[in-house]
Amino acid sequence: MAAVFEIVELSDGDIALKRSDGEGEPLVRITFSGDAKDSFPMEHIEIAKAMIEAGVRKVGELSGVHVEDTSAIADLEERIIH
């Protein structure tokens, strides 16, 4: 069974890719500067999601697996991990 991942906003405001089962620490963590968040107050989440999806595709490419659909990554649903 393939692992399922989700994109979440952490309590410190970082956006992270983590296993949906909650095991382990985040696999990827994106930190935006205060200036970046001020420039794109709501869009920073969409920007982080695009960055993570591009990373997943690149990992697939480097490992010889074609990743066309990143829908296995659950969308951020206003969840904050404490």
Burial of residue 48, with CB atoms counted within 10 A of its CB: 0-12 exposed, 13-18 middle, 19 or more buried: buried
What digits encode the pLDDT tens for the residues 6-62? Answer: 888 899 989 999 988 888 899 999 999 999 989 988 888 899 999 998 888 888 888
- Quote the pTM value: 0.71
pLDDT at 72: 52
Segments making up each domain of the chain, as ranges: 5-65
Q: CA–CA separation, 42 vs 74, rounded Å?
A: 18
